[in-house]
Structure 1
Amino acid sequence: MFTDLQARSRIDFRAATRDGEAPQQTRAVARESTWRQLDCNERAASETIAISRWEDARDISSHQATTPEDRYFVAIALKTTRAKLSRDRQIIFDGTMPAGTLYVSAPSKPLAAQFQAPCAFLHFHISTDHFPAGLPAIEGLDNLVLLRDPLAAELAKALTEHGDAADRPFARCIGQTLAMHLTRLELPRAKVNALPKWRLRRIEQYVADHFDRCISLSELANVAGLSRMHFAAQFRAATGYRPREYLLNHRVEHAKTLLASTERPLAEIALAVGFSTQAHFSTVFKRISGQSPARWRLASKSQRFEVEASPRRRPSADGDWIASAAA
């Protein structure tokens, strides 16, 4: 069922239209009005795996929650965001969290999260019964952050593509597969320190200024003030990307802006964002986005036309960002 595992592929987050939404109590995937808070109804309490969806359209938001004593909390990012996760005064993660990132928190553990960009997540609230004591991987299932986990990305994609049409048996199968995946993880023995934030900002700015030309690993390492080996390892620990992957993703994101906002030919856009040929541009674009540049441009125009053609709703006084996120 889950083939073509692509860690680089962008997960499209398709929310159901308001008119066709199923009632909250009948959904296999509940929508959270408050971060990580599920409605404590009888059915949710009896399920060993409850799944919910959280989306926040704000540029900056802060949240706090404590995992129940009989559950593990697992989150899968549906789109790239910037996040800072902390417990007490300990920073667990601080940086770019790509789509497909997996985060796990153990039972009875508090967590504070600050998102510095709009975000969308699937949340899995999994009973401790799915994690038998004694398994080697269980000890590592706290404050675990796996950037762009391929299987987690595909599981999330399969579930979100069904939207409100997903039934409970299908959602339960997805949750059980994820739980089994976590029990079989082979965690790295040696932890690599992430690239310090000030060095990362320097690299991000340098790539933003020079992405339209060839940038070597040695060049980026010099900007960061590190050896090639140390820079590559620390950069990947901080971002989830190899330096080359990060550069290609930056080029593709800039290309999307040009595709959506201009009528420039594909060959011209390829050269503008740093590719030497249109063929190489199309290959990389499809690998990262899942569509060719031409198809992506057509889909973008269709989506924009639908948004412009849809009737405007009268804005409410409160909770507008929640309503727009759920629409």
Structure 2
Amino acid sequence: MLSDLQAAHPWIDFPAGAHDQKLPHAAQAISRENQWRGVDYNPEAAAEDIIVSRWDDPRGASSHEATTPENCYFVGIALKQTRAKLTRDRQIVFDGTMPAGSMYVSAPSRQLSVQFQAPCAFLHFHISADHFPAQFSTTDGLNDLVLLRDPLAAQLARALIAHGDAADHRFTRCIGQTLAVHLARLEPPRAKVNALPKWRLRRVEQHIADHFDRCLSLSELANVAGLSRMHFAAQFRAATGYRPREYLLNHRIEHAKTLLTTSGRPLAEIALAVGFSTQAHFSTVFKRMSGQSPARWRLASKGERVEVEALPRSRPAAENDWMVGAAA
């Protein structure tokens, strides 16, 4: 299912921490999971209609499976970009890149399996079905729904992360209620576009990875995929959530972040190395996609790495977008 959404960009980018201990739900408004979606449903937690937890996994690959409780919806919001494959009843729900701010939803009593192919960090919400219209229980409108870079979800997650352990239950419940209202008001997608087949997508992704430092036209990428420009652009967005040019810019910015954190090269040199013709254009795109200028991001990233390394190992701290889903 496909539908336009307002523009949004990745905004949380930090190293995932080590495995977290599960903390008592009463002690923190945002509990840490020791296994994917491993919320402790003790009597006190069960009495709450909105439960928020966090899952961080620094591993490059992992697999998990969980079933949403019968009385609530499950919502996950990505805090950093990752690659994931979601399946239910052997049907692929989603397989591709999840940028920061992506959101996926699972309906009550539905089983969902995931294979992460990169480090990941998520906020997880279990929201009582009472917060959603009654007719949702008889449809698949909010089941197996993946929103790639949903603007409001990104802002809500940012608000919770900004408060950290200082967030209280009243605040997290308010965020959860806002999220439920947002989901309930989403219009069902009106059209379906087949995603670019995996073998074609891998071909294009590899071509971009090999040549991102030079100009890549839509025609060139379409030829690599073996499709017309129109069909390629639509199928690429269905598979990745990005326009081809947006994907290219994101790849350049991600590579630039690596250079910013691992080298002392001047910004102008980094801009040219990742395919931008001027430092000014590089800085504009970088700030739009990351929320900070390259210089500020470099300083924050270095400070962040020091802070994360100092923590105990058991406690770690454009423009149109698309909605993709599959309902069985």
TM-score scaled by structure 1?
Answer: 0.88
Aligned with 1:93: secondary structure?
strand
Residues 287-327 of structure 1 show CA distances to partners (whole Å, capped at 9, x for unaligned) of 1111111111222233345567x49x6xxxxxx7xx26x34
For the residues of structure 1 that align with 2:65 and 2:8, how far apart are their CA atoms?
A: 29
For the residues of structure 2 that align with 1:134 and 1:107, how far apart are their CA atoms?
A: 13
For the residues of structure 2 that align with 1:167 and 1:96, how far apart are their CA atoms?
A: 32
Match of 1:234? 235
Quote the sequence identity (%): 73
Residues 21-40 of structure 1 show CA distances to partners (whole Å, capped at 9, x for unaligned) of 98653211111112112112
Match of 1:300? 301
Listed as ranges, the gaps of 5+ residues in structure 2 are: 1-5, 318-328
Are positions 1:93 and 2:94 aligned together?
yes
**Counterpart mapping for 1:88-237 below 5 A:** 88-134=89-135, 139-237=140-238
1:137–1:185: 8 Å Cα contact kept in structure 2? no
Match of 2:291? 290
1:137–1:182: 8 Å Cα contact kept in structure 2? no
For the residues of structure 1 that align with 2:17 and 2:229, how far apart are their CA atoms?
A: 46
For the residues of structure 1 that align with 2:220 and 2:282, how far apart are their CA atoms?
A: 22
Displacement after TM superposition at 1:89 (Å): 1.5
For the residues of structure 2 that align with 1:238 and 1:44, how far apart are their CA atoms?
A: 37
Aligned with 2:134: secondary structure?
coil
Q: How many residues get paired?
A: 310
Listed as ranges, the gaps of 5+ residues in structure 1 are: 314-319
For the residues of structure 2 that align with 1:215 and 1:262, how far apart are their CA atoms?
A: 26
Displacement after TM superposition at 1:6 (Å): 6.0
Match of 1:317? none
Amino acid at match of 1:63: H
Match of 1:271? 272
Indicate how the Cα distance of structure 1 residues 124 and 22 shifts in structure 2: closer, same or farther if over 3 A, else same.
closer
Match of 2:37? 36
For the residues of structure 2 that align with 1:13 and 1:44, how far apart are their CA atoms?
A: 29
For the residues of structure 1 that align with 2:305 and 2:35, how far apart are their CA atoms?
A: 29
Bigger relative contact order, structure 1 or 2 (CA pairs below 8 A, ≥6 apart): 2
Aligned with 1:26: secondary structure?
coil
Indicate how the Cα distance of structure 1 residues 238 and 298 shifts in structure 2: closer, same or farther if over 3 A, else same.
same
Indicate how the Cα distance of structure 1 residues 279 and 95 shifts in structure 2: closer, same or farther if over 3 A, else same.
same
Aligned with 1:7: secondary structure?
coil
1:67–1:110: 8 Å Cα contact kept in structure 2? yes
TM-score scaled by structure 2?
Answer: 0.88
Amino acid at match of 2:53: S
Match of 2:324? none
Residues 18-63 of structure 1 show CA distances to partners (whole Å, capped at 9, x for unaligned) of 9xx9865321111111211211222210111111111111111111
1:137–1:187: 8 Å Cα contact kept in structure 2? no
Amino acid at match of 2:80: K
Residues 159-213 of structure 1 show CA distances to partners (whole Å, capped at 9, x for unaligned) of 1111110011111110000000010001211121111111111111101111111
